[in-house]
Structure 1
Amino acid sequence: MPHTTTPLPSKTGIQLEDVESAAKPQRIKPTDYTDNNINQDENKRLKDVEISVPVVYGTMAFYLGKKANELQSHKWTVYVRGATNEDLGVVIKQVVFQLHPSFDNPIRVVESPPFELSECGWGEFEICISILFHDDVCDKHVDLFHLLKLYPDAESGPQSTKKPVVVETYNEIVFPDPSENFLARVLNHPAVYVPRLPAGFNFPAPGARSYS
């Protein structure tokens, strides 16, 4: 699993839209678009267009059995993925996982799909998940928080080495007024939802669809 100790970017800020009921997902909207990292020819924004990217983030933990080291009683994986396991690399540039400070190199950076990492341990703690996007998408990052759960609820019965403890959250990351380049790249991608296109929209030339 690729990771480094790269510090988190200083830019942040997200807007959580009102949720009508607990059953509906949050719609997370990165704020304050700027064109610092986008070529002017690629920076034309499309008004009244909204790109939505459904994401699932969470953890899966396996009990390693009674013979396991008491300090490494569970193996777990934290991840960010598409709602039905689609590749999110078309939108996401990297994901930063901030673990408990007791871990070696607690800030881990995953720079390519699958955006996940695995560790072993015994304790539950909150993981900060920072999602950074390609330059033509957004220059802000989104921070999510997830509580690592290792132990099953009492009604689920005793721990088992065969049945993992899985806790997931479904959200939608929303990009209003996207750049033409971004829309052209992701229009038919299975991980992305585009409700409608502006009348008379013409795609940029294929050579302009870089997202580095």
Structure 2
Amino acid sequence: MAAQSVQIKLVLGHSAQWRKRPTQEGFTHDWTVVVRGEDGQEIKHFVEKVVFHLHESFPKPKRVYKEPPYHVSESGYGSFMLPVEVHFRNKDEPKKVRFEYDLLLPNLNDPPISQIRSECLTFQNPSEEFRQKLVDSGGVVSGGPPAVVEKKPPPSQPAFLQKKRSGEELESNAPKKRRKDKPKKKPAGSSSSESSDVDSSSESESGGDDGVVATKKSGGKKQTSNTWNTFELKRLHKRLNSLQDPTQLQEIVNIIEQTGLYNLTASTFDFDLCKLDNDTLDKLRKFVEPTS
């Protein structure tokens, strides 16, 4: 009997914009991240739940949605990687697939961000029960080995210096701030992906022969630690976010680059104050507080 596969497409996307005024916590943006079917398909037939792993600095960072719409909305002040797990109504393997979603926020005076990416999942020889659930959700059945479908990369968003930590659907200007404990990109506490007979094609790196999930490479380096308390970090964060002069901002970038503890993409330069050592933090403090 010929091998059979079922392909189905998921859409991941987000919108983000500046708030008219920051919140009391200093959050400058609203954002929303969503998972849905392509062309209005009802993915609830084969999706048991969607889990969004927010940055650990958010209250209850693990957000679970068992019914559509599968979306999470929050407020914050910077970009970070947001892992998304889609769990299947499948008695056999695979049980879930995991995506690394890059939550980017617009810089000051930039227009709101609205972007989506398409993920094609290929299930090899699913059970009859699960195959029907996939078909009910818009899945396409084919015989023989699964085809590889390329995903369109999301449009790049301009950003010079973006801080980490962000939430929902959108508005306008306010000065940038960083969240309480200053964590940047790369949220912690996310569970690992499982091997399975599902292939996920995207602009991200593929997960292996037994069909794990696509993951984006992020460029952080070796981490270190410091003895600064939360109050000191918060004060430094506010000082850094008050800078507007491009020359001063470039100096900050130069200081961070010496540590190697940053994530550089085509549109962002991201770093985490909590990961920097005491010497680097002292340099930053002297730069923003030259009289101290």
Match of 2:118 among 170, 177, 180: 170
> 2:89–2:95: 8 Å Cα contact kept in structure 1?
no
Partner residue in 1 for 2:258: none
* Matched ranges for 1:23-42 at <5 A: none
Q: What does residue 59 of structure 1 align with?
A: 14
Q: CA separation in 2, counterparts of 1:168 and 1:55?
A: 10
Question: What is the alpha-carbon distance in structure 2 between the residues aligned to residue 144 and residue 106 of structure 1?
Answer: 16
Q: Which residue of 1 aligns with 2:142?
A: 195
Question: Which of residues 78, 93, 102 in structure 1 aligns to 2:57?
Answer: 102
Please report the TM-score for the alignment, with normalisation by the length of structure 1: 0.60
What letter matches 1:107 in structure 2?
A: K
Alpha-carbon distance between aligned partners in 1 of 2:86 and 2:36, rounded to the nearest angstrom = 11
1:1-212 matches, cutoff 5 A: 47-65=2-20, 67-69=21-23, 71-136=26-91, 138-151=93-106, 158-160=109-111, 164-187=112-135, 189=136, 191-195=138-142
Distance in 2 of aligned mates of 1:59 and 1:138: 29
Give yes or no for contact 2:46–2:88 (8 Å, CA) kept in 1.
yes
Between the aligned partners of 1:87 and 1:137, the Cα distance in structure 2 is: 21
- Decide whether the 8 Å contact of 2:89 with 2:130 is kept in 1: no
1:75–1:120: 8 Å Cα contact kept in structure 2?
A: yes
> What's the CA shift string for 1:3-25, capped at 9, x where partnerless?
xxxxxxxxxxxxxxxxxxxxxxx
| Shift in alpha-carbon separation, 1:171–1:137, aligned structure 2, 3 A | farther
Per-residue deviation at 1:81? 1.0
Secondary structure of 2:83 counterpart: strand
**CA contact under 8 A between 1:149 and 1:167: conserved in structure 2?**
no
- Which structure would you say has the larger RCO, counting Cα contacts within 8 Å and 6 or more residues apart? 1
Specify the SS of the correspondent of 1:123: coil
Following superposition, the deviation at residue 140 of structure 1 comes to: 2.6
Q: Over residues 40-82 of structure 1, what are the superposed CA-to-partner deviations in whole Å (9 max), with x where a residue is unaligned?
A: xxxxxx85111111011121112222x3337221111111111
Q: Secondary structure at the match of 1:84?
A: helix
Q: 1:137 & 1:81 partners in 2: Cα distance?
A: 23
Alpha-carbon distance change, 139 to 50 in structure 1, aligned in 2, over 3 angstroms: closer
Counterparts in 2 of 1:72 and 1:93: CA distance versus 1, 3 Å: same
Q: Alpha carbons of 1:137 and 1:90: their partners in 2 closer, same or farther (altered >3 Å)? A: farther
Determine which structure has the larger strand proportion and give its number.
Answer: 1
Amino acid at match of 2:117: T
Q: Which protein is bigger by CA-based radius of gyration?
A: 2
CA contact (8 A) 1:78 1:117 kept: yes
Identify the structure with the greater helix proportion: 2
Q: Distance in 2 between matches of 1:179 and 1:165?
A: 40
Identity of counterpart residues, as a percentage? 28
Give me the CA root mean square deviation: 2.4
Aligned length: 143
Name the CA distance, whole Å, in 2 between partners of 1:115 and 1:106.
Answer: 15
For 1:79 and 1:48, the matched residues in 2 are separated by 33
What is the CA distance between 1:89 and its match in structure 2?
Answer: 0.5
Aligned residues of 1:92 and 1:133 also touching (Cα < 8 A)? yes
